[in-house]
Amino acid sequence: MPTSAIEISVTENGKRKPEYTLESDVSGNLTLKELFKFTKNTLLATASTILHEEQAKGFDKKPVVRVDNKYGRTEQDVNPLGQIEYISRGNSKEMLLFCYDAILQRSPRLTGRYHDNNIVLFNEREVASSRAGFEAWLSGQKSFKDKDKIRFVNIAPYANKLELDGTTSSGTSTKRRPIKDKKGRDRIGTLVRKPNGVYTLALRAIRHKYKGNSLIKYEQILGSQYGLSSPPRGSGIGRIRQRGRDKGRTYVYPSILIYIIESGLMQ
């Protein structure tokens, strides 16, 4: 029967450390626990050395740390055979403008109403309803604090329908997903529409460009949470009077939420 072995050796201060193999563990010289401890310490030492070398060349002094493909962990949490990644933070204003542009570029312009109803909320308070307005607000914003929230939302009354229909400036592409049963299995023959419109596609572009720099997610929000129980005007963000069956109706809107965290997004 073929056999295999794991062999690890480290050179420290010019001196070669003892080699460790699973064979030595079998013979009783080294336990598997000791092997993993050695492996983890070697990984931590290597990561620290590489980080300091890169920082000496100009790399971010306070990078985002991703341990075993997860954020919010420290290097000490790494698995012995895991990985440690250091990701340079993004510039806050550049990133946020990119987010807004990603949404505007994908917004349909048949009447201009959808495009003109993309607004921005800061800590759930409206701060801009146009690209120029948002850029001006960012210029006056000196810094952000930990756990600040930026939300992009389209408040056209039909925005959520267009998101589910997959309608963007490029056309319409509806996607559907199966419904899960109580055991998590797909219900055969039962499909529901899944978001595939402006905000869903913009989110993919943002995550692709700025992955690791922030906590970003897509959300459908109730208009009543933000005083939007009435649909807005065709342009701007004013409200119109509802009549008949639409009176008092609560709309659902697509949004992209960005959490600003000290260990992640902003410089």
Would you say 131 and 232 are in contact if contact means Cβ atoms under 8 Å apart? no
Band of pLDDT at residue 185, cut at 50, 70 and 90? low
- In the three-class reduction of DSSP (H, G, I as helix; E, B as strand; rest coil), residue 207 is classed as helix
pTM score above 0.95: no
Q: Give residue-wise pLDDT tens across range 69-79.
A: 887 788 999 99
Name the 3-class secondary structure at 7.
strand
Average model confidence (pLDDT) for the chain? 76
Q: Are 119 and 155 in contact (CB under 8 A)?
A: yes
266 has a pLDDT exceeding 50? no
Range 141-149 average pLDDT? 81
pLDDT above 70 (res 213): no
State whether residue 243 is helix, strand or coil.
coil
C-alpha 89/C-alpha 97 separation (Å) is 16
- 3-class DSSP state for residue 203? helix
CB 226 within 8 A of CB 120: no
